[in-house]
Amino acid sequence: MIEQLSNFPENVVAIVCKGRVTKADYDAVLAPAVRDALEKHDKVRIYYEIAPDFSGFDPGAMWEDFRVGMEHLTRWERVALVTDVEWIKHTMQFFSFMMPGDMKAFPTAQADQARDWIVAQ
């Protein structure tokens, strides 16, 4: 499941992935949040946290994540990824060359630093 987090500026889409993540989660939570933020701001920041109980992405969810990211590629200002899942960190590093904005991975223990970084000017 994907849960939208509160207490972030409106130019930051902040989510946490818990348990099993499906395409329906992207359609119901992430895609509308991204659309709303992009209607109000030229550039948007993403805070993307993987919870300790995360058990994986369904194939449709992985495709949707890639599609959402690529569809708005030039509008990502900054992306903070919070995870201890190594394959997710490596995937972000692999695709980071395509991202025009800053991307940074944080271990779960540094979630507070990631939150500070994503909102910093």
Considering only CA atoms, which of 80, 117, 81, 77 is closest in space to residue 100? 77
Where do the domains of the chain lie?
Answer: 2-119
- pLDDT confidence of residue 76: 85
Average pLDDT by consecutive 10-residue portion of the chain (121 residues)?
A: 95 96 91 92 95 89 71 83 89 71 93 97 83
pLDDT for 104: 93
User: How far is CA 73 from its chain centroid?
Assistant: 13
The CATH number of the structural domain formed by 2-119 is 3.30.750.24
Kindly report whether the global pTM for this prediction surpasses the value 0.85. yes
Q: Quote the CA–CA distance of 75 and 69 in Å, as a whole number.
A: 9
Burial 34-57, CB ≥16 within 10 A → b, else e: beebbeeeeebbbbbbbeeebeeb
Side-chain-side CA neighbours of residue 95 (13 Å): 14
